[in-house]
Amino acid sequence: MSEELKKLMSQVFSLPTASISDDFSTKTASEWDSLRHMMLVVAIEEQFNVSFTEQEIVELVSIKEIMRVLQQRMGTLAKHS
Amino acid sequence: MSDRIRTITSNDIPAVLRAFKEIYPANPRLQEIEYLNWQFRDNPGESRDAEYSLLVLEREERFVAFLGYVPLRFQFDDVVKRGCSTCTWYSNGSDGGGLAVLSTLMVKFDNRFLIGLSDISASIYSLYKIPLLPRLPRWVATPNAEALADLLKLGSDQRSILDNSAALLGRESSDPVAITTVSRFTDDPLQRCPFSTVQGFVIRNAAYLNWRYIDIPHHRYQVVRDPDGGYAVFRIEQIMGHSFAALRIIEWWITSRWGAQAIAFISGVAREARVIVMDFFCTALEVGEYLQTFGFFRDTSTSPPVPDRFRPLNDSGGICIALDLPPHRRARELNFSQWYISKGDGDIDRVKL
């Protein structure tokens, strides 16, 4: 799932997949503005067939946090990747 | 690095004004304490829970994101609910500050009126699946077809639209004895909606209207009322670089039986002020179609369209609005024409110069 998420993020942020590190976050990536954030949220929702609440959306500020929320949300997600 | 989202207090005003001066250099109003107090402290919002209705994201003793709001009550299908309209949404770029303050507002208010969106804001709201109306409908009329045609350099094939408008406006010349001007609302105006197809609208009581149109610094709106409690609000704006003026109707909450008299009154004011163009923005098509009987026409009827900015004269490309009501984050259609949303619902009718 981690690699799939990184690939998705590389598309949204127009960056090479290799540059999406495990520490990739709003603090480290200047590309991660509000618009790209929402594009990422929608891309994740479509890719992983999940839906985030307005409150969750604003908490998805790092690849670690996104992974945590995704794993929490769907125990079956592992099968997806 | 710790972030803190909060509403501002009077102690923050100097810092906020400094920030606004840097962020909005072309907008002197937002750099003035009178305007700031009017917009965020003095609004008569129901159940306001803060000294100022301006959220900030504070980071290392700096404000890196803002979102202002005006609490309001609105009615849809005879049910009254709480909501807010937003204004002055800004973040300094990355790091999710803009969305963080937006999220805080979303927790506070389940119903949000979003008026005058930038392209980026519209894109973000669209990704939230919030119904958008890319161009708030606008109707235009002219009491002086020749001057407006010359100003817009319209060809003869386009002039007939303006000639027709001027003729219809001029027809309403009966003495408007029933229409009165007021300097202030001393009682609540008509609270029921005078338009049969409109189901939703922000409730405008005397306190709201006095705040929005009478007590606002640096603006001079004129208010007329009809005998049934209806009202219209307008202001006159000089066209930069010309001796002519524009008359902006901001609210049209006039009952149908007094419409002709109200138009006659406003047209009289327009002629005295050398107005060559009048306009009105509203989601409710019924209201615009009613005004068409008095000579108004859709601004897209001419080519080029009649510009919507007069200081200086240019076209903004339209006003984008959004209405964010539950259920949130679900794609849905919204019939905006069932709503009465005017330019007065947001902070976009703001004289900058």
Query: Which DSSP string do the residues of B240-273 spell out, in sequence order?
Result: TTSS-EEEEEEEEE--GGGHHHHHHHHHHHHHHT
Kindly determine whether residue B128 and residue A38, on different chains, have CB atoms separated by under 8 Å. Answer: yes
Give yes or no for A61 touching B (CB within 8 A).
yes
> Which pLDDT does position B347 carry in this prediction?
84
Q: From the CA of B34, how many Å to the nearest CA of chain A?
A: 31
pLDDT bin (cut points 50, 70, 90) of residue A81 is very low
List chain A residues with CB under 8 Å of B127.
Answer: 35, 38-39, 41-42
More reliable by pLDDT, B154 or B126:
B126
Chains A, B: CB contacts under 8 A, how many? 56
The answer to which of A39-43, B46-50, B93-97, B272-276 has the lowest mean pLDDT is B46-50
Which of B345, B346, B269, B260 is CA-nearest to residue B296?
B260
Q: What would the mean pLDDT of A58-79 be, rounded to a whole number? A: 82
Nearest to A54 among B120, B123, B329 (CB): B329
Q: Which of B95, B103, B119 to mutate to test the interface with A (most CBs of A within 10 A)?
A: B95
**Chain B residues with beta carbon closer than 8 angstroms to that of A53:** 329
- Contact residues, B window 35-94, toward A, CB-based 8 Å cutoff: 91, 93-94
At residue B352, the pLDDT reads 61
pLDDT of residue B334: 96
Backbone angles phi, psi at B232, to 5 degrees: -135, 150
Q: Is A32 on the interface with B (CB under 8 A)?
A: yes
What residues does B94 pair with on adjacent strands? Answer: A33
A34, A39, A50, A62: best to mutate for the B interface, most B CBs within 10 A:
A34
Residue B303 has pLDDT above 50, yes or no: yes
CB contact under 8 A, B127 and A38: yes
> Collapsing DSSP states into helix, strand and coil, what is residue B174?
coil
Contact A32 B128 (CB under 8 A): no
Q: Enter the tokens of residue A20.
A: 């999406």
pLDDT of residue B197: 97
The answer, as to whether pTM is greater than 0.80, is: yes
Contact between B94 and A32 using a beta-carbon 8 Å cutoff: yes
A54 and B103 within 8 Å at the Cβ level: the answer is: yes
Inter-chain contact A29–B94, Cβ cutoff 8 Å? yes
Per-residue pLDDT band at B139 (split at 50, 70, 90)? very high
Is B102 near chain A, with CB under 8 Å? yes
Q: Do B98 and A34 touch (CB under 8 A)?
A: yes
pLDDT tens-digit readout, B229-287? 999 999 999 999 999 999 999 999 999 999 999 999 999 999 999 999 999 999 999 99
pLDDT for residue B30: 87
* B32-58 average pLDDT score: 88
A chain contacts of residue B96, beta-carbon cutoff 8 Å: 26, 32, 34, 37, 58, 61
Confidence of residue A72 (pLDDT cuts 50, 70, 90): confident
Contact B127 A53 (CB under 8 A): no
Shortest Cα distance from A54 to chain B (angstroms)?
7
Structure tokens at B302: 């001419």
Q: Which sign does the torsion angle of CA A26, A28, A33, A35 carry?
A: negative
Question: Which pLDDT belongs to residue B93?
Answer: 73
pLDDT tens, residue by residue, A14-38: 999 999 999 999 889 888 989 999 9
Question: Of B50-54, B200-204, B302-306, where does mean pLDDT reach its minimum?
Answer: B302-306
Contact B226, B137 (CB under 8 A): no
Range scoring the smallest mean pLDDT among B84-93, B121-130, B344-353: B344-353
Query: What is the predicted pLDDT for the residue at B311?
Result: 87
* Minimum CA–CA partner of A36 in chain B: B124
Q: Measured between beta carbons, which residues in chain B are less than 8 angstroms from residue A62?
A: none
Give dist(CA B147, CA A61) in Å, integer: 56
- On whether any CB of chain A is under 8 Å from the CB of B118, the answer is no
pLDDT value of residue B45: 75
pLDDT for B106 beyond 80? yes
Is A33 in Cβ contact with B329 (below 8 Å)? Answer: no
Residues of A in contact with B1 (CB under 8 A): 27
- pLDDT score for B171: 83
Closest residue to A37, CB basis, from B1, B96, B328: B96
Strands B339-340 and B138-141: unpaired
**pLDDT on residue B94:** 60
pLDDT attached to residue B39: 93
CB B231 within 8 A of CB B190: yes
**B187 touches B205 (CB < 8 A):** no
Is pLDDT at A76 greater than 80 in this prediction? no
Q: Buried (b) or exposed (e) across B45-73, using 16+ Cβ within 10 A?
A: beebebebbbbbbbbeeebbbbbbbbbbb
CB-closest option in B96, B120, B127 to A61: B96
Residue whose structure tokens are 């539950």: B326
* Pairwise CB contact (< 8 Å): B329 & A53: yes
